[in-house]
A and B are shown apart, each in its own frame.
Chain A
Amino acid sequence: MNEYVLEMKGITKTFPGVIALDNVSFGVKKGEVHALVGENGAGKSTLMKILNGVIKANSGEMYLDGTKTNISGVNDAQDKGLSIIFQEFNLINTLSVAENIFLGGLNRPKIVDWRNMRIKAQGLLKSLGFSFDVRRVVGELSTAEKQLVEIAKALSFNSKIIVMDEPTSSLTKSEEKMLFKIIKELKAKGVTIIYISHKLEEIFEICDTVTVLRDGKVIDVNPVSAITKDMIIEKMVGRTVDVEYPKRTILPGEKVMEVKNLYRTKILKNISFDLRKGEILGIAGLVGSGRTELAEAIFGAERFDKGNIKINGKVIKLRSTRDGKANSIGMVTEDRKETGLVLDFSVTNNITITNLNNVTSQRILNSRKEKDVAKRFIEELKIKTPSHKQEVVNLSGGNQQKVVLAKWLFSNADILILDEPTRGIDVGAKYEIYCLMNKLVAEGKSIIMISSELPEVLGMSDRILVMHEGEIKGELLGESASGEDVMQMIIN
């Protein structure tokens, strides 16, 4: 008699020079929602990749329904009722919804029966309580819809166990609610879910059990009811984290930026606000509310049709990101890998690119000056890197983010726009980024922070602008506002 639907025993996995998993044992009971948490690099994704047959463990055993199994590859995992929904969806944007659902499907006839496939796909979506045209191309879907397609795909293999990796990372609050409802329904049907997330609030909302991984070892397994958020954090980080959001003492000063009636057809509606020296201005709102478009407009990366922007009382022209830079604005974009860094460039080359004139002598690049700049920022921002010559691809997410910040600090930006500054960064590194933000405003910089994580916006901002459908719905004070206040503004 074995109550576990899945058991992994004594899993060890080493990569050249690294022990990724050290004798890990992990058990999941049938029909539960089991949270798997840990900092980046703790071994969560390695464990899941072993479960899915993408990589092989050096040693250890795996049991499904009490019988010993070997998973030889992705197809085999699917055959055995295991599927993983990755954070960056495994969908092919150029193909239709139906095709994506049945892409690696179990019943693989040589000839594609389109009608049958569509009916089945529609049926699966219906079983989740949704219906949309399955002939639509996945590239046109919203993130939430893509998520649904992924779940439908998992169900199409009759999956008994579904792993969800950061499923809510780009969902809006209401979409998140929908997802939780689906998870509950799946659970009722006896589907087991392994839930990986950095957002600990969610775990208390939806999960039954939580397993904490740290440095490739299982630190703790507990029912959610027997543990608190602080305890989880402590176990993840291996030390007590006193304050989630560090406090700062300085108060915002005079106005540095005034945005007046910014308008862009269908996207931005008469946006007006101002930003003060030493202030962190939070922008809350759903994905697609126009937050990023607003930030890009202020930076010069996107156009606006009407309105104006004043910096230190003077109207500025913003035709390109160059103009933004020239007016000492910097933007840390949402996706550092796509739009922030050249991954195979060194730390130095990524930092100095915004202000090469400053590291030249007689217009010739001076590598000594470059090195000094890089070293200064590595020290100031505590960037963990073996050397200034290291390629940024080898740094952790948090350190990569610091490199992006450094590049804008080097361009002497006084107004920093941070779009999702802590996305995909683990708890410890998040805290460091927050401290850094405080330090920057203390030095007289101003920050506009966009974030989907409400607690972060509430915890870090002096003021919060709530955006919805391209409009500013209201303004709140960071100190006194609550998550409910923000949601109220969005709904009304």
Chain B
Amino acid sequence: MKSYSITNDINNKLVIFLKKRAVTVLLLAFIVFMVISKPSFYSWGNITNILTEMSVYGIVAFAMTVAIIGGEFDLSASSIFGWATVFFISITNTLGLIPAFFLTLISGILMGMVNGFLVSKVKLNAFVVTLATMTIIKGLTFFYTGGSPINTSNETLIAIGAFNVAGITLTPIIFVIALIVFILILAKTRFGRNIYATGGNYHVAKLTGINVDYYKFIIFVIVGFCSALAGILLCVRVQAGSALYGKDLALYAVTATVIGGTSLSGGNGGVAKTVIGLLVMSVLFNALTLLGVEGYFQQLIRGIVLIAVIIIDTVIKKKNK
């Protein structure tokens, strides 16, 4: 009887561990599978490729994680990103690289401020607001370019794009910096903790004397800033801007956040978790490409993975209760 209960206990602990880290375990298992079945998967070239692929959207995913922790949602990230690519390239071509860099970031911040104002001050539903600003900014971007992509032959930009350390380009480096900065802000500063408090319980946070409206506002500014920054980083890589870039960015960012384990209800989670989510998505798609899976079949799998993750997540949460 006794031995039975001990094995039972170990079983339980294992089960709890597996449940808590289910996504990570699956990811590792999948990586092992890939390493065995496709040697090209773990070539240095492919690894840097995966890193670069996930870095651009990853920065926005971090900001989205912050927004979701704060209890909000930002669909307009996609359009801000597309806008940033177009605006950055066109200013680079006219005023030069440095003004382009700053003006693009400022434009992203301003767009975030509009979202933030409408949500925190006018008290509109974030989904509707960002849906609307998404449309507005997309319209603006198309209008600005007339719908066609624009290029640049700015040599400094090309040089920056070519810069790398052992195949690692600027983008992953900035991605890692952003990761560290976000982790520090969220875990170590009053600012960060107040975002958790605001998302965890808006009313209570308000009664505790936290300036909740400010945090609701700033969340959108962060998303605006990061979307613009990510747009610039894409430009560094491809030296082109288009209104069509970043079409699926916002939902990609939300997906990575949720797969990582940050709850949609706000108040918990973190950017480190989102890295897991990003890895799951980029490793999976990289692998599918390597395995020769076709474009729409990939899309199909992506949808199913998303649904499966959210369902497993809620079922586990229910069980743990």
Give the B-binding residues of A (Cβ under 8 A): 54, 73-75, 78, 86, 89-95, 99, 103-104, 108-112, 114
Contact = CB atoms under 8 A, between A and B. Distances in A.
Given A54-B207, A90-B207, A111 B267 contact: no
Contacts of A89: 204
Given A103-B205, A112-B187, A112-B188, 8 more contacts: A54-B207, A74-B208, A75-B209, A92-B204, A92-B267, A94-B196, A95-B267, A112-B190
B17 interface: no
A75 B209 CA distance: 5
B210 A93 contact: no
A94 B209 contact: no
Contacts of A94: 196, 199-201, 266-268
Interface in B177-226: 187-193, 196-197, 199-201, 204-205, 207-210
A90 B204 contact: yes
Contacts of B208: 74, 90, 103-104
Nearest to B206: A74
A259 B268 CA distance: 42
Given A110-B191, A112-B187, A92 B201 contact: yes
B190 A110 contact: yes
A95 B69 CA distance: 12
Contacts of B192: 112
Contacts of B205: 92, 103
Contact of A92 (B187, B189, B200): B200
Interface residues of B, number: 21
Contacts of B268: 94
B275 to A, nearest CB: 20
A44 B204 CA distance: 20
B96 to A, nearest CB: 36
Contacts of B191: 110
Contacts of A108: 190
Contact of B209 (A74, A86, A99): A74
A111 B200 CA distance: 20
B127 to A, nearest CB: 20
A93 B196 CA distance: 10
A463 to B, nearest CB: 33
Contact of B188 (A75, A99, A104, A111): A111
Contacts of A73: 209
Contact of A103 (B187, B197, B199): B197
A142 to B, nearest CB: 15
A112 B193 contact: yes
Nearest to A109: B190
A74 B205 CA distance: 11
A104 B190 CA distance: 10
Contacts of B197: 92, 95, 99, 103
Contact of A93 (B187, B188, B189, B267): B267
A112 B193 CA distance: 8
**Shortest Cβ-Cβ A-B pairs, 5 listed:** A94-B267, A92-B200, A75-B209, A94-B200, A104-B208
Nearest to A75: B209
Contacts of B200: 92-95
A146 to B, nearest CB: 12
Contacts of A109: 190
B209 A104 contact: yes
9 contacts: A74-B207, A86-B207, A90-B204, A92-B204, A94-B266, A95-B193, A95-B196, A99-B193, A110-B190
Nearest to B192: A112
Nearest to A84: B207
B189 A112 contact: yes
A91 B267 CA distance: 12
Nearest to B263: A94
B189 A110 contact: yes
Interface string B101-138: 00000000000000000000000000000000000000
Contacts of A111: 188-190
A86 B207 CA distance: 10
A271 to B, nearest CB: 22
Interface in B250-286: 266-268
B212 to A, nearest CB: 11
Contacts of A78: 209
A105 to B, nearest CB: 9
B66 to A, nearest CB: 15
A492 to B, nearest CB: 29
A93 B202 CA distance: 11
Contacts of A90: 204, 207-208
A245 B159 CA distance: 87
Contacts of A95: 193, 196-197, 200, 267
Contacts of A86: 207
B195 to A, nearest CB: 11
A94 B267 CA distance: 6
A104 B197 CA distance: 10
B269 to A, nearest CB: 9
